[in-house]
Every structure is written in C-alpha cells, then in structure tokens.
C-alpha cells in the first residue's frame, strides 16, 4: 500500500471518528449515575460537613438567644426567722419577703440579639447553599472531563489498531520488495507516535479519575 494512500486512510479515519466523538460523548454520560455521584459527594466531602456544622451551630445560637429572654426576669425571696428581737406572733413565727424584678435594658437588647442570631443562621445557610452549588458544578465538570478522556482513549486505541494494521500490511510489502525502507520507517514512526499518544491519554484518564474521586471520598469502582 503506497504511503500516500495509507496517510489518506488515516486522515479519513480521524475525520470520521472525530465527527463521531462529538456526537458520542453524550452517549457516554450517565446522568442517573452522575446524580448518584453528587449525592455521595455531598454526604462524604469534609467541607460539606463543615458548613453543615456551621448551620447547626447557628441554629443553636438562635435557640439560646430566644431562651435568654428569661434572663430579663428575676425572682427572689428573703426568709426572716424573726430572731432579731422583734415581737413574735404565734400565728407567724417567721416571714418571707418576695421580690420580682424586670431588667428594662435587657428587654430593649434581646430583640436585636435574636435578630442577629437569626441573621447569622441565614448567613451560614447561604454559605452552605453556595458551597453545595459550587461542589455540584465542580463534580459535574470533573465527571465530564473524565468521560471525555475515556472517549479520547477509546478513539486513540482504535486508531492505534488501524495504524498497526497498516504497518503490518506495509511490512509484508516491504519484505516482498514492494515498498521502500523509507516508507516502512515512516509508518513505523507513525505507529510509535500513536502508541505514545495512547499512553499519554491513559495517564489523562487516570488523573481525571483521581480528580473525580477526590470529591467523592471513595473509589469509582466501589460505586455501582
């Protein structure tokens, strides 16, 4: 097979498979699986738990601020056994004195304290909601990148098989004296380049997988 014809075959191959890859990426995306990954990430990722702890702490702050209304009121009593030399009544040998006090300053301060606690709760909730959205967006990005790298690896793997088939054909023709050494070496170099590209793409797949698993807190193999 002439080298020009081999190059044309490869060009057509990459053109066709490149067009297919643009339309096939969506076929490799499993949105039900992606939703499961998002749920797992929100359950496992440490920062999600941190923001949830902030919300719970703020909720406790609101409850404490509301309960502090009782601090405004103060009830007291004084027991007098009448041993101070005063006349003692047979009916009332001792006496009690009761007192009920209201902190006016506290009445004015408590509403603002409760409002502040509620605002802190809202702020904590907004922070968590914002982080959840960012986490979901980042996980989707890493998942799509992972799928893209897998599709690219599959394409390069198929391309390498085609190049190896062409190389085998060129080698036979060379051994029969029907092709020059220069053309044989050109296809051989082409096969080497494709093999190296496949190794590089495999590395990219592993890196993308590791990046995705960072947000999941577990291996993809453990998620069904």
Predicted pLDDT of residue 8: 43
Percent over 70 (pLDDT), the chain: 71
Predicted pLDDT of residue 104: 57
pLDDT mean over 178-191: 87
pLDDT tens track for 103-140 = 555 555 677 788 888 999 999 999 999 999 999 999 99
Q: Is the pLDDT of residue 218 over 60?
A: yes
pLDDT mean over 6-12: 47
Nearest to 209 by CA among 143, 158, 157: 143
Looking at the chain, how many residues does it have?
Answer: 224
pLDDT mean over 19-46: 83
Predicted pLDDT of residue 180: 85
CATH 1.20.1600.10 fits 3-70+104-218, yes or no: yes
Predicted pLDDT of residue 184: 84
Predicted pLDDT of residue 27: 87
Residue scoring higher pLDDT (175 or 14): 175
Q: Is the pLDDT of residue 37 over 90?
A: yes
- Residue ranges of the domains in the chain? 3-70+104-218
pLDDT tens track for 39-88 = 999 999 999 999 999 999 999 988 887 776 655 555 555 555 555 555 54
Give the pLDDT band (50/70/90) at residue 1: very low
Percent over 90 (pLDDT), the chain: 46
Average pLDDT, the chain: 80
pLDDT tens track for 93-102 = 555 555 555 5
Predicted pLDDT of residue 174: 82
Q: Is the pLDDT of residue 3 over 50?
A: no
Q: What is the pTM of this model?
A: 0.70
């Amino acid at each position: 097979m002439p080298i020009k014809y081999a190059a044309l075959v490869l060009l057509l191959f990459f053109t066709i498979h490149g067009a297919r890859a643009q339309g096939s990426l969506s076929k490799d995306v499993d949105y039900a699986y992606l939703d499961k990954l998002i749920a797992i990430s929100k359950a496992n990722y440490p920062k999600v738990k941190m923001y949830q702890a902030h919300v719970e702490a703020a909720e406790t702050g609101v409850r404490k601020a509301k309960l502090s209304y009782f601090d405004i009121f103060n009830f007291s009593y004084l027991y007098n056994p009448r041993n101070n030399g005063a006349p003692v009544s047979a009916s009332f040998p001792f006496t009690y004195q009761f007192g009920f006090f209201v902190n006016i300053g506290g009445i004015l301060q408590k509403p603002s304290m409760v409002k502040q606690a509620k605002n802190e709760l809202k702020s904590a909730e907004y922070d968590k909601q914002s982080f959840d959205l960012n986490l979901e967006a980042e996980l989707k990005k890493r998942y799509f990148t992972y799928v893209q790298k897998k599709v690219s690896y599959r394409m390069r793997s198929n391309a390498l098989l085609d190049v190896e088939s062409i190389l085998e054909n060129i080698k036979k023709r060379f051994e029969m004296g029907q092709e020059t050494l220069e053309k044989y070496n050109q296809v051989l170099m082409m096969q080497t380049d494709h093999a190296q590209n496949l190794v590089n793409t495999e590395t990219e797949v592993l890196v993308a997988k590791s990046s995705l698993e960072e947000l999941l807190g577990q291996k993809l193999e453990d998620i069904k």
